[in-house]
Amino acid sequence: MLDLLYHRRSTRKFLDKPVEVEKVKQLITAGLLAPSSKNNRPWEFLLVDDADQLKAMAYTKPHGSSFLANAPLAIIILGAPGKSDVWVEDCSIASTLIQVEAESLGLGSCWVQVRNRSHDEEISAAQYLRRHFDIPADMEVLSIIGIGYKGQERTPLDDDDLIWSKVRKNSYDSKMKF
Ligand SMILES: Cc1cc2nc3c(=O)[nH]c(=O)nc-3n(C[C@H](O)[C@H](O)[C@H](O)COP(=O)(O)O)c2cc1C
């Protein structure tokens, strides 16, 4: 598991190659297996593999979503606030598990933040997607995970990237040493 986590880096360049249906199913399975508060499972997953739709999704935000134009697959992570007051946490966990599963399947992925982000001065990023995909009013949008075969090599993280000073033990003013 740690080896996989060292190697998972955000991928924003993809090969022009579709993700096989069996792998798509495994990605969604990872999301559906996510733990959630009180087992409310407030998430839903909207798969997009249509090139024109993906190009439209690239305009979700002025920055940080353009790479979706060249992704073969994106999963919109939706949450139902009416089902859980911690839908953000639940949807974040599902997003992360999908990213980790992508890495384990030899795929690259990158999170696009949607919640609390703007499309332009008038509408939110979520409203832009809501209109485009007819997302019902009782569902919110947390994120989009862009996924595909990696079209870029990224250096894996290593032990020098680990900020051990963030770790404390028993009391906040004591550092943890291993
Ligand atoms: C909550 C969250 C929001 C993010 N939003 C975006 C985004 O909108 N666009 C983007 O290109 N990357 C986004 N990222 C990816 C981060 O930029 C990336 O994970 C971070 O720089 C660390 O790099 P790494 O994933 O390669 O380790 C987001 C990641 C997280 C966890």
pLDDT of 178: 77
Residue 72's nearest CA partner among 109, 103, 106 is: 109
Q: How far is the CA of 170 from the centre of ligand 1 (A)?
A: 31
pLDDT of 140: 98
Domains of the chain (ranges, CATH numbers): 2-175 (3.40.109.10)
pLDDT of 148: 98
DSSP state of 10: B
Mean pLDDT split into 10-residue runs, the chain, 178 residues: 97 98 98 98 98 98 98 98 98 98 98 98 98 98 98 96 93 84
pLDDT of 71: 98
Q: How far is the CA of 174 from the centre of ligand 1 (A)?
A: 30
Residue 31's nearest CA partner among 9, 53, 46 is: 46
pLDDT of 175: 79
Task: Spell out where 61-164 has E strands.
Answer: 73-79, 108-113, 140-148
pLDDT of 176: 78
Q: Is 114 in the pocket of ligand 1 (CB under 6 A)?
A: no
Q: Is 113 in the pocket of ligand 1 (CB under 6 A)?
A: yes
pLDDT of 177: 74
Which residue's C-alpha comes closest to atom 29 of ligand 1? 111
pLDDT of 103: 98
Helix (H/G/I), strand (E/B), else coil: 30: helix
pLDDT of 142: 98
CA distances from 132 to 53, 65, 102, 171 (A): 9, 15, 26, 49
DSSP state of 136: -
